Amino acid sequence: MIINHPLLGPRDAAEFVYLGDAALLNRPDWQASDAAEQFYDYQYLRDNPAGDHRELWYHEQGDRSWLIVARNTLSHEITKVELARDVARARKQAHG
Amino acid sequence: MRYSALKILTEALTGNKGWQPVWREPEPKPAYDVIVIGGGGHGLATAYYLAKEHGITNVAVLEKGWIGSGNVGRNTTIIRSNYLLPGNEPFYELSLKLWEGLEQDFNYNAMISQRGILNLFHSDPQRDAYVRRGNAMRMAGADAVLLDADGVRKMYPFLDFDNARFPIKGGLAQPRGGTVRHDAVAWGYARGADSRGVDIIQNCEVTGFSIENGVCKGVETSRGAIKANKVAVCVAGSSGRVMATAGMRLPIESHVLQAFVSEGLKPVVDGVVTFGAGHFYVSQSDKGGLVFGGDIDGYNSYAQRGNLPVVEDVCESAMAIMPTIGRARLLRMWGGVMDMSMDGSPFIDKTQTDGLYFNGGWCYGGFKATPASGFCYAHLLANDAPHPVATELRLDRFKRGHMIDEKGAGAQPNLH
Ligand SMILES: Cc1cc2nc3c(=O)[nH]c(=O)nc-3n(C[C@H](O)[C@H](O)[C@H](O)COP(=O)(O)OP(=O)(O)OC[C@H]3O[C@@H](n4cnc5c(N)ncnc54)[C@H](O)[C@@H]3O)c2cc1C
């Protein structure tokens, strides 16, 4: 697989380390009254879809940035690559 | 029809005209006592033991393709019970004991070959870890033998003992481990279940469940709705997809694992050998091909094929312990979809929906578990209580903090 890095261009997937579902960016609030329940969900349960999947890849043998890669788990086709940083910032702005 | 030497002889003398299909091809009935979803090794073993051990024969196995088209027909056929943790080891040892009597039990030649498995170690700490594991195995009634470098040299003189990075210091052997003809396991269980009245229904994909007021009443399939008192999911790599239709998220990710076979060679590796400093294992099939594999690719996948970086990685590991392998040519390679759980251990459990049961999370090691998985799942379905060796294989163990994490890698499925 070739991951089209937003800053560095097309890179071999072998340069990256895979973490998993991009939902891992949404860390629950540790002060919520049901925090234990929320963290169980966050840490252990997965959607694990057959089809489109947004996932976190870390460019360990490159610029050490975290990317969000939209990839199809049935065909391995990659449709979109963003810097995780940009996605998190945009979300923060949207939520004020 | 029982197979025997006499039967082969009589058939040979009468033009082999008396052989019959090994199982029927029935139409689905409107309702069953138990529906097993998935005609892999585990699903067929479950149906077999339901009928044989518990007398529950009004059972259907629903398979979306043909039986054996999943991982049971794609694995590298290694059986062993060399686990460490108390939640796992007695279960895998029961499995190995069942393997030892299986061919007589289901009257089918599964070519079970206890040729032994040897896990190499390359450093002192690794030796200590293997001593501990060997002791844990023996405490659960399994066999384990610690070998020093000379002991290993006697068995496999061609290994690269003085490799600069990964010198071989010894190994932990389990002489009762070995290999099995994987397809024959599916066929043998299918035949045994069918002859006891179980309907094996191929080309029948389960597309949903009928759940009313928290109770599962049956399944929707590509061949219509079928009712059942109990529905037992057993779909390995497809676990996430299938359980999503019942509204359940699982502590599982699907990943692809590749395997490789070389051209046929003269006998060279007579047991199973695993590398301790990377992920690589090898055995030799009865046809002469070296059968080997390594790590999963490491990203979510439902494609039954992998990518080149792992191919390179596996070949590098192979060269590090067994340089002779570099002269062998690769004949074929393939992939299978693994149900990787959050702690690397499986589940055999009820779900929150009454009448709906789940078996999965087998990672890359579920072939060896086939007999015990079927045995314990049948026990759970018949008694609504877990079998004594499977009491830890529960879906809620993460919530309770009772993970069975052999590697200590944490909730990171691609590291198990
Ligand atoms: C390359 C490779 C090497 C391996 N090596 C080893 C090894 O050396 N030792 C070992 O112990 N394990 C090994 N494994 C793991 C082992 O093969 C699996 O853990 C085990 O086979 C899984 O159980 P099963 O046989 O029931 O799965 P499967 O054979 O995959 O059965 C599941 C079945 O469910 C069916 N199904 C899926 N969805 C539906 C649906 N909606 N409706 C109806 N049917 C459905 C599938 O078609 C499939 O036939 C390996 C796996 C792979 C891929």
Note the pLDDT tens digit of each residue in A9-53. 999 999 999 999 999 999 999 999 999 999 999 999 999 999 999
Q: Is residue B19 part of a domain?
A: no
In this structure, the answer to whether residues B282 and B336 fall within a common structural domain is: yes
B-chain CB neighbours of A49 within 8 Å are 240-241, 244
Where does residue B77 fall: left (phi above 0), alpha (psi -120 to 50 degrees), or beta otherwise? left
Determine the distance separating the centroid of ligand 1 and the alpha carbon of B246, expressed in angstroms. 21
In this structure, the answer to whether residues B103 and B53 fall within a common structural domain is: yes
Cα separation of B334 and B304, whole Å? 7
Query: DSSP assignment, residue B390?
Result: G
In this structure, the answer to whether residues B164 and B194 fall within a common structural domain is: no
Determine the distance separating the centroid of ligand 1 and the alpha carbon of B240, expressed in angstroms. 14
- A95 has pLDDT over 90: no
pLDDT tens-place values along chain B, 416 residues long: 789 999 999 999 999 999 999 999 999 999 999 999 999 999 999 999 999 999 999 999 999 999 999 999 999 999 999 999 999 999 999 999 999 999 999 999 999 999 999 999 999 999 999 999 999 999 999 999 999 999 999 999 999 999 999 999 999 999 999 999 999 999 999 999 999 999 999 999 999 999 999 999 999 999 999 999 999 999 999 999 999 999 999 999 999 999 999 999 999 999 999 999 989 999 999 999 999 999 999 999 999 999 999 999 999 999 999 999 999 999 999 999 999 999 999 999 999 999 999 999 999 999 999 999 999 999 999 999 999 999 999 999 999 999 999 999 999 999 99
Shortest CA gap B3–chain A (Å): 42
B interface with A, Cβ–Cβ below 8 Å: 238, 240-241, 244, 249-254, 298-303, 307, 309, 312, 342, 398-399, 411-414
In this structure, the answer to whether residues B130 and B233 fall within a common structural domain is: no
Shortest CA gap A46–chain B (Å): 6
Q: Is residue B304 part of a domain?
A: yes
In this structure, the answer to whether residues B235 and B354 fall within a common structural domain is: yes
In this structure, the answer to whether residues B167 and B259 fall within a common structural domain is: yes
Closest-CA residue, ligand 1 atom 50, reads: B75
CATH number where B37 lies:
3.50.50.60
Q: Are the Cβ atoms of B307 and A1 closer than 8 angstroms?
A: yes
Per-residue pLDDT band for A93 (boundaries 50, 70, 90) equals confident
Q: Are the Cβ atoms of B244 and A49 closer than 8 angstroms?
A: yes
Q: Which of B252, B307, B412 sits opposite A48 (nearest CB)?
A: B252
Q: Which amino acid is at B292?
A: F
B232 Cβ inside 6 Å of ligand 1: no
Nearest chain A residue to B254 by CA: give it: A48
Q: Which residue has the tokens 């929707």?
A: B220
Residue B411 neighbours by CB distance under 10 Å: 19
Q: Are the Cβ atoms of A44 and B411 closer than 8 angstroms?
A: yes
In this structure, the answer to whether residues B186 and B278 fall within a common structural domain is: no
For chain A, which domains are there?
Answer: 2-24+46-95 (3.30.2270.10)
Q: Is residue B5 part of a domain?
A: no
Residue A94 neighbours by CB distance under 10 Å: 7
Cα separation of A55 and A19, whole Å? 7
Q: Is residue B397 part of a domain?
A: yes
- First vs last Cα of chain A: how many Å apart? 37
Q: From the candidates A19, A48, A56, A74, which should be mutated to test the interface with B, based on the most B CB atoms within 10 A? A: A48
What pLDDT, on a 0 to 100 scale, did the predictor assign at position A91? 87
- Domain closes at, from B341, B363, B378: B341
Q: Which residue has the tokens 């690559």?
A: A81
How many structural domains compose chain B? 2
B69 Cβ inside 6 Å of ligand 1: yes
B364 Cβ inside 6 Å of ligand 1: yes
Q: Is residue B277 part of a domain?
A: yes
In this structure, the answer to whether residues B93 and B37 fall within a common structural domain is: yes
Q: Is residue B11 part of a domain?
A: no
- A92 has pLDDT over 90: no
Q: What is the CA radius of gyration of chain B?
A: 21
B-chain CB neighbours of A16 within 8 Å are none
Q: For strand B272-274 and strand B117-121, is the pairing parallel, antiparallel, or unpaired?
A: parallel
Q: Is residue B198 part of a domain?
A: yes
Closest-CA residue, ligand 1 atom 31, reads: B40
Residues contacting residue B137 through CB under 8 Å, at least 6 positions apart = B81, B82, B83, B84, B89, B93, B143, B144, B174
Per-residue pLDDT band for A94 (boundaries 50, 70, 90) equals confident
- Domain closes at, from B304, B319, B341: B341
- Domain closes at, from B292, B324, B341: B341
B251 within 8 A of B398, measured Cβ to Cβ: yes
In this structure, the answer to whether residues B227 and B164 fall within a common structural domain is: no
Cα separation of B37 and B46, whole Å? 10
Shortest CA gap B298–chain A (Å): 7
In this structure, the answer to whether residues B316 and B371 fall within a common structural domain is: no
Per-residue pLDDT band for A96 (boundaries 50, 70, 90) equals low
E strands within B189-329?
199-201, 206-212, 215-221, 224-233, 252-264, 272-274, 280-284, 289-300
Cα separation of B184 and B112, whole Å? 10
Q: Which of B251, B302, B411 sits opposite A73 (nearest CB)?
A: B302
Angle at B316 between CA B314 and CA B321, to 5 degrees: 100
Establish, for the pair of chains A and B, how many residue pairs have beta carbons separated by less than 8 Å. Answer: 72
Shortest CA gap B104–chain A (Å): 40
Determine the distance separating the centroid of ligand 1 and the alpha carbon of B181, expressed in angstroms. 14
CATH number where B287 lies:
3.30.9.10
Nearest partner of B175 among B102, B117, B127, B134, judged by Cα: B117
Shortest CA gap A89–chain B (Å): 25
DSSP 3-state of B382: helix
Q: Which amino acid is at B66?
A: W
B238 Cβ inside 6 Å of ligand 1: yes
Q: What is the CA radius of gyration of chain A?
A: 15
Instruction: Pick the atom of ligand 1 nearest to B62's CA.
Output: 43
Q: Which residue has the tokens 């058939």?
A: B11
Q: Are the Cβ atoms of B303 and A73 closer than 8 angstroms?
A: yes
In this structure, the answer to whether residues B187 and B247 fall within a common structural domain is: yes
Buried b (16+ CB within 10 A) or exposed e, B54-86: eebbbbbbbbbeebbbbbbbbbbbbbbbbbbee
Range of the domain at B283: 117-177+253-341
Pocket test for ligand 1, best of B274, B296, B364, B370 (most atoms within 8 A of CB): B364
Q: Are the Cβ atoms of B251 and A73 closer than 8 angstroms?
A: no
In this structure, the answer to whether residues B127 and B162 fall within a common structural domain is: yes
Q: Is residue B8 part of a domain?
A: no
